[in-house]
Homo-oligomer: A and B are copies of this chain.
Amino acid sequence: MSSIDVIDFDEMLSPIRYDHATGVLSLLDQRLLPAEEIWIECRTVVEVAAAIKDMVVRGAPAIGVTAAYGMAIAARRGESLEEAATLLRATRPTAVNLFWAIDMMLKPQRQGGAFPGMIPEELRARSIHTMDVLMCLKIGEFGAPLLPQGGVLTHCNAGALATGGYGTALGVIRTAHKQKRGIHVFADETRPFLQGARLTAWELHKSGIDVTLITDNMAAHMMQRGEIQSVIVGADRIAANGDTANKIGTYGLALLARAHDLPFYVAAPLSTVDLATPTGRQIPIEERSAREVTHVGDKQLAPDGIKVRNPAFDVTPAGLITAIITNVGVARAPYEPALAALARTMPGPLL
């Protein structure tokens, strides 16, 4: 391993692989999991942007890493980085990691050369990827001691598949599992895109972590019966005041956790914290296609002609969040000073 190969991406179940010999970015097609493990190859920034928009890759940190490689591919092909950035920024509006990673790639880069055959942009993208996994490992360390023994509920997929590897919320669960803290996981299936059923259940089962799948509307019942002791989720954007945008359904879970006196944790790298967004009210919420709700694959679930809503995210007010677990420490209310203090310690890309 070279000096920047501090991470074994395969071991971390990274859904993103970049081959600097060919300039090909391979993305695990998360739309097809768990039925098929197909990797899609992207050779141009247009293909990378399409893969983000079409949710071949999803999860705020993973989108950021993918966009970084998209910028590197543009650079390698001698294309305008500004145009590549514009294209990539237009893919999805809510996850701030996307914008963060693109900005990182636009900053003047130290000339590298530590890795023969890679241009500086490729090195920088790889460094963002590596840093993302390292941040997940740190989140796991900070978060694991917070999980009480017993059932821990998670929503959507904030796992290896949603990041450069290892995961944020699932990173905490992975570390708690390694530390034998006696947890077992309830995974919300997470309609309409079923990230919980398809991705979280798949990656936890693959890693030998005890996981029970439930539909989203079973969470309250499980809490009422004392089967859930904590809730942990990822984030797509955390405002300066701690308000957190995450997958639709997160806000409801936070209310249910409060009603049952359960801790509700958000786990995210500092690249998800957006101090430029004062509160949750300023976070744009992506509305996706009605077809995601009315169909599963080709199977139509609902009649033609009805109205459908499909907001992809919701905003959980900071007041419902027990703690925000980041790669540099754990923030608790009042979040505004706590997050600002943590943000000052945020490391940049490794190179």
A residues within 8 Å of B by Cβ?
34-35, 155, 188-192, 194, 197-198, 201-202, 204-205, 210-222, 224, 248-249, 251-252, 255-256, 258-259, 293-294, 296-297, 299-303, 305-311, 314-315
* Contact of A301 with B220 at beta-carbon distance under 8 Å, contacts A213-B306, A259-B259 already known: no
User: Which residues on the B side are within 8 Å of A201 (C-beta)?
Assistant: 302-303, 306
Q: Is the CB of B211 within 8 A of A309?
A: no
Selected from B198, B218, B251, B314, the residue in CB contact (under 8 A) with A302 is B198
CA gap between A202 and B191 in the complex, in Å? 20
| A192, closest chain B residue (CB) | B215
Selected from B218, B221, B299, B307, the residue in CB contact (under 8 A) with A299 is B299
CA gap between A294 and B215 in the complex, in Å? 10
* Contact of A220 with B255 at beta-carbon distance under 8 Å, contacts A302-B198, A302-B201, A306-B201 already known: yes
| A280, closest chain B residue (CB) | B224
CA gap between A155 and B306 in the complex, in Å? 16
Q: A189-B191, A189-B302, A215-B216 are in contact. List 19 more A-B contacts (CB 8 A).
A: A34-B300, A34-B303, A191-B191, A191-B215, A192-B215, A198-B303, A202-B303, A205-B303, A210-B307, A211-B306, A212-B307, A214-B308, A215-B293, A217-B248, A218-B311, A224-B314, A224-B315, A259-B259, A297-B299
CB distance from A303 to the nearest CB of B (A): 4
* Contact of A213 with B302 at beta-carbon distance under 8 Å, contacts A252-B220, A294-B197, A296-B296 already known: yes
Q: Is the CB of B219 within 8 A of A34?
A: no
User: Which residues on the B side are within 8 Å of A308 (C-beta)?
Assistant: 212-214
User: Which residues on the B side are within 8 Å of A189 (C-beta)?
Assistant: 191, 293, 301-302
User: Which residues on the B side are within 8 Å of A34 (C-beta)?
Assistant: 300, 302-303
User: Which residues on the B side are within 8 Å of A315 (C-beta)?
Assistant: 224
CA gap between A248 and B221 in the complex, in Å? 8
Q: Is the CB of A213 within 8 A of B293?
A: yes
CA gap between A310 and B249 in the complex, in Å? 19
CB distance from A235 to the nearest CB of B (A): 16
Can you list 23 A-B pairs with a CB-CB distance of less than 8 A?
Answer: A189-B191, A189-B302, A191-B217, A198-B303, A201-B302, A201-B306, A202-B303, A205-B306, A210-B307, A211-B307, A212-B306, A212-B307, A212-B309, A213-B294, A213-B308, A214-B309, A215-B248, A215-B249, A215-B310, A217-B217, A217-B249, A217-B252, A221-B314
